[in-house]
């Protein structure tokens, strides 16, 4: 069992505050991903869960017990880092079994647990090799194997795939997910790759400058971002933002174009920002003009950079579009899919 509660956790290095009161409740078996820009405090938070970093304020509970002052080895967690930190002078088998050896597990048990983990990770052919004779992906698997053999209550991953090339990353992503489906070990996983977050997480915690911006399932964050930070961070290509004003319950863009708004009830601010996902533009002869800046067909879809309502925006279209840069197309917006934000606070308006 491995629920994790993070309650109003603060962290300062000397006088410098880094985390400003972070709270998350993670259920046993859940796969939670922390995302956010570089320097926002993801690794710091993870290291506090691991016991590698002192907690300045607040509480961390694992399985209902406060662990603030417990040393790492008493927390029943296993951590996998970005740099795999394998022991170079030990074989794969010895690397994977090392923590069990330290805890004085019987030799036969170590061997069998390593064998099971090696099988699940496809590492059986490599057990007698040394790390320097492995590829990056294989090393990453050994680092995971080392965590798996311990059968911990909680796995912590800090950007474990960031040293791998794109193809291997996709493959390892699916392996980690399959492993989680099989083992159901509570997992807290840090990445700044939002695709990784969207595809792997049960829930995503979006952090920014030492605070939590929003917690939710991937699609909750995508469909109903609480503010412009989350809206711009989740989704690729990113959401487009059009600044404007509210005029007679219509959106009036900075160039004077008018756009009908979704029904979000009373809006009591006048400076509003419209959020449009790239896939929510539609080619429409009755729509508003958009001057094409660049056009990038990928085969499956067409990505168009265009000047729309006085802003440079990106649209993604399923159909093929036969126009050249400099030409004007007409597009409309899927009204019910628009997002509205208070320009001043960045907060979402309406449901
Ligand atoms: N030992 C330390 N002493 C002082 N400041 C630190 C220390 N460790 C981290 N920091 C600062 O704390 C902030 C958060 O760092 P952290 O490593 O948690 O960021 P991160 O979100 O993991 O970023 P990245 O995506 O780049 O890994 C940064 O501004 C960093 O400079
Ligand atoms: Mg980090």
What tens digit of pLDDT does each residue of 264-315 get? Answer: 778 888 899 999 999 999 999 999 999 999 999 989 999 999 999 999 999 9
Is 126 found in the same domain as 78? yes
**Highest averaged pLDDT of the listed ranges 16-25, 65-74, 167-176:** 16-25
Q: Are residues 188 and 302 in the same domain?
A: no
Q: Are residues 227 and 260 in the same domain?
A: no
State which H helix or E strand residue 305 sits in.
strand 302-308
Alpha-carbon distance 176 to 194, whole Å? 16
Q: Is 312 found in the same domain as 166?
A: no
Instruction: With H, G, I as helix, E, B as strand and everything else as coil, classify residue 229.
Output: helix
Q: Which among 199, 232, 265 is the end of a domain?
A: 232
Same domain, 219 and 247: no
Give the model's pLDDT for residue 315: 97
How far is residue 170's CA from residue 164's CA, in Å, rounded to a whole number? Answer: 9
Last residue of a domain, one of 232, 249, 273: 232
Residue 181 and residue 39 in one domain: yes
Rounded to 5 degrees, what are φ and ψ at 327? -80, 160
Residue 211 Cβ < 6 Å to ligand 1:
no
The SS3 assignment for 226 reads: coil
Q: Tell me: the pLDDT tens digits for 21-34?
A: 999 999 999 999 99
The yes-or-no verdict on residue 163 having pLDDT over 90 is: no
With CA atoms as reference, report the closest residue to 78 among 2, 5, 136, 146.
146
Decide: 320 and 246 in contact? Cβ < 8 Å: no
Of the candidate ranges 87-91, 125-129, 141-145, 265-269, the one whose mean pLDDT is the lowest: 265-269
pLDDT > 70 in the chain, percent: 100
Taking CA atoms only, the protein residue closest to ligand 1 atom 6 is: 13
Q: Does residue 277 sit in the same domain as residue 185? A: no
**Ligand positioned closest to the Cα atom of 41:** 1
Domain that holds residue 289: 237-349
Is the pLDDT at 111 greater than 90, yes or no? yes
Q: Which atom of ligand 1 is nearest to the CA of 45?
A: 18
What average pLDDT is seen over the chain? Answer: 93
CATH number at residue 91: 3.40.50.300
If asked whether residues 171 and 190 sit together in one domain, one would say: yes
Residues 148 and 56 reside in one and the same domain: yes
Shortest-distance ligand to the CA of residue 36:
1
Last residue of a domain, one of 232, 265, 287: 232
| 322 and 305 inside one domain | yes
Contact 134, 92 (CB under 8 A): yes
Closest-lying ligand 1 atom to the alpha carbon of residue 192: 25
Phi-psi region of 58 (alpha: psi -120 to 50; beta: other; left: phi over 0): left
Q: What are phi and psi of 124, to 5 degrees?
A: -55, -40
The whole-model pTM stands at 0.92
Domains contained in the chain, number: 2
Among 41-45, 79-83, 85-89, 318-322, which is the least confidently predicted range?
A: 79-83
């Amino acid at each position: 069992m491995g629920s994790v509660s993070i309650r109003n956790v603060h962290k300062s290095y000397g006088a410098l505050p880094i985390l400003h009161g972070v709270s998350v409740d993670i259920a046993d078996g859940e796969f939670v991903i922390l995302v956010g820009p570089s320097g926002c405090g993801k690794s710091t938070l993870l290291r506090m869960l691991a016991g590698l970093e002192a907690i300045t304020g607040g509480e961390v509970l694992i399985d209902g017990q406060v662990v603030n002052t417990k040393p790492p080895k008493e927390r029943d967690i296993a951590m996998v880092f970005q740099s795999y930190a394998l022991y170079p002078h030990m074989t794969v088998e010895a690397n994977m079994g090392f923590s069990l050896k330290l805890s004085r597990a019987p030799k036969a048990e170590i061997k069998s647990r390593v064998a099971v983990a090696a099988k699940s990770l496809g590492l059986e052919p490599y057990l007698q090799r040394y790390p320097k004779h492995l590829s990056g992906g294989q090393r990453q698997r050994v680092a995971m194997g080392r965590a798996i053999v311990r059968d911990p209550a909680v796995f912590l991953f800090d950007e474990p795939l960031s040293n791998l090339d794109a193809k291997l990353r996709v493959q390892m992503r699916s392996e980690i997910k399959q492993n989680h489906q099989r083992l159901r070990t509570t997992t807290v996983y840090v990445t700044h790759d939002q695709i990784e977050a969207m595809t792997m997480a049960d829930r995503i915690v979006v952090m920014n400058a030492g605070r939590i911006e929003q917690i939710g399932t991937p699609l909750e964050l995508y469909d109903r971002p609480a503010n412009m930070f989350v809206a711009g961070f989740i989704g690729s290509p990113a959401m487009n933002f059009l600044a404007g004003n509210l005029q007679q319950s219509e959106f009036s863009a900075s160039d004077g174009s008018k756009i009908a708004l979704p029904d979000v009830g009373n809006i009591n601010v006048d400076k509003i920002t419209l959020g449009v996902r790239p896939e929510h533009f539609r080619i429409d002869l009755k729509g508003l003009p958009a001057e094409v800046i660049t056009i990038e067909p990928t085969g499956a879809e067409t990505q168009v950079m265009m000047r729309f309502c006085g802003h440079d925006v990106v649209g993604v279209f399923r159909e093929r579009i036969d126009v050249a840069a400099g030409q004007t197309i007409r597009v409309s917006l899927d009204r019910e899919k628009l997002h509205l934000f208070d320009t001043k606070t960045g907060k979402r308006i309406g449901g």
